[in-house]
Amino acid sequence: MKEKREDNCVFCRIVRGELPATVVFEDEATLAFMDIGSVNPGHMLVAAKPHVANLQGMEAELAGAMFRSAARAAKAIEAVFRPAGISVYQANGAAAGQTVFHAHIHVLPRWEKDGLTFTWPVKNPPRDELEKVAAQLRTAL
């Protein structure tokens, strides 16, 4: 895996040990640490060790490592907190809510009425529109 470095990226600096973080675990490709802006106790971030801004810029190997680590984090959260649910969130770009432009995944325990919501207006497009969009995406692949 090719290592990229961004001198001023906060997550790169955490990975390099230049900034403090409460690390839960790490492997060759990822670092899992407590989110200082936690929604609930146990809220972890799984960050890519090499600097990559988003999912679109990731090699398949790194994407797989990120989601394996997210699953590992979710299992730990389940074992310790026995939450009502677990949210896994990964944002790409400012419009999606990304605020740190270094690829990372939020893994957080959820409780009824914990104040965090993930809702969006359902549009229910007709099947022919879905087929048209799917054809465009298949072409892009």
In 1-141 the beta strands, taken as DSSP E runs, fall at: 23-26, 30-34, 44-48, 85-89, 104-110
Average pLDDT of the chain to the nearest whole number = 93
Contact 50, 104 (CB under 8 A): no
pTM above 0.75, yes or no: yes
CATH of the domain at 74: 3.30.428.10
- Choose the catalytic residue: 43, 51, 102, 104: 104
Decide if 106 is catalytic.
no
User: Does some domain include residue 53?
Assistant: yes
User: Does some domain include residue 118?
Assistant: yes
d(CA 94, CA 89): 14
Q: What is the pLDDT of residues 41-76, one digit of tens each?
A: 999 999 999 999 999 999 999 999 999 999 999 999
What residue numbers bound the domain in which 118 lies?
Answer: 10-140
User: Does some domain include residue 5?
Assistant: no
User: Does some domain include residue 3?
Assistant: no
User: Does some domain include residue 86?
Assistant: yes
- What is the count of structural domains for the chain? 1
User: Does some domain include residue 1?
Assistant: no
Residue scoring higher pLDDT (44 or 1): 44
User: Does some domain include residue 4?
Assistant: no
Percent of the chain whose predicted confidence (pLDDT) is above 90: 88
